[in-house]
Chain A
């Protein structure tokens, strides 16, 4: 079974830029090159950071129901995003 790539709900680490090493959750796919990421802190769901796919590494993924809500554009709070990053599941790394 495949695993999620750079899609809503993916937990990622920045590989390039001033935010090198920072952890985010992908909140939206913008196009073939860029995705929008948030960390629930400075980068919110409402104002996510745009990152080049090539500058991100997938570490794991959030709960499928949260991923589904992100994909559908349903409400996801910054607290939920921050919680995902606080509790990165070792099992899926």
Chain B
């Protein structure tokens, strides 16, 4: 069942979303060669709790950390640890905050120092794919339009979209209906209506779209070892079009 939110509830969700945004800003400041993903996770958890929020990911289906820190070929769900970031890496930080009973969820992928031209282009294409998806979030459009916006652009750039993991509705729970794939046919799928709130999150690989999960049951990596990027915003569908809740 798709739970639509009132205008007031959407504004409450924006409060959670702004904490997510602030934490991302602080993490972006400290990402540099030498820092470990565990240090990033500790900083994120401290900042979330200082803001009065709860790290949504921690304990979710047993997930052990407050952020997902997915480096290079890791697509999603990289568990923070002792890995030190190195010049040329790319790192996707995904984080969720529960505040006032509502969840905000977003992700950014950052270059660590100077990265290869291909990696830089991957980040740019994935970021633009998210923008194109959000631009389709008007009442009357369908989820197929959103997915198609991502898939057609990404594939035109020679990259591939991940099928195994998808975006989702978001609200009082992190994962609500409907699933939001990054692929699809225009004019198909769930009709977008005012009050829907979606976590839209293209995951884009340089090589094959196929992924595999490591023995920890969480870490998903590209099947061919190519780099992968991930950007995400929590977006409300309003009468006037999309409102991004995870940025000011």
Interface of A with B (CB < 8 Å)?
1-7, 29, 32, 53-54, 57-58, 64-65, 67-68, 71, 91-93
Contacts and interface: CB of A to CB of B under 8 A. Distances in A.
Nearest to A69: B217
A2 B217 contact: no
5 contacts: A1-B76, A4-B164, A6-B163, A54-B185, A93-B177
A47 to B, nearest CB: 24
Contact of A1 (B60, B164, B215): B60
B209 A32 contact: yes
Contact of A2 (B165, B177, B209, B212): B165
A2 B201 contact: yes
Given A1-B68, A1-B94, A64 B62 contact: yes
A2 B163 contact: no
Interface string B149-177: 00000000000000111111000011101
B43 interface: no
Interface string B34-78: 000000000000000000000011001111000010000000110
A91 to B, nearest CB: 8
Contacts of B181: 5
A80 to B, nearest CB: 16
Contacts of B60: 1
Given A32-B209, A64-B217, A68-B217, A2 B168 contact: yes
Do most interface residues of chain A lie in helix, strand or loop, or is the interface mixed?
A: mixed
Nearest to A92: B175
Given A1-B60, A71-B212, 11 more contacts: A1-B68, A1-B105, A2-B76, A3-B165, A3-B167, A4-B164, A5-B165, A5-B181, A32-B209, A64-B218, A71-B213
Contacts of B61: 64
A1 B213 contact: no
Given A32-B209, A58-B179, A64-B218, A3 B168 contact: yes
B194 interface: no
Contacts of A2: 76, 94, 165-168, 199, 201, 203, 230, 232
A3 B166 contact: yes
A1 B96 contact: yes
A76 to B, nearest CB: 14
Contact of B57 (A1, A7, A68, A92): A1
B179 A3 contact: yes
A68 B213 contact: yes
Nearest to A7: B164
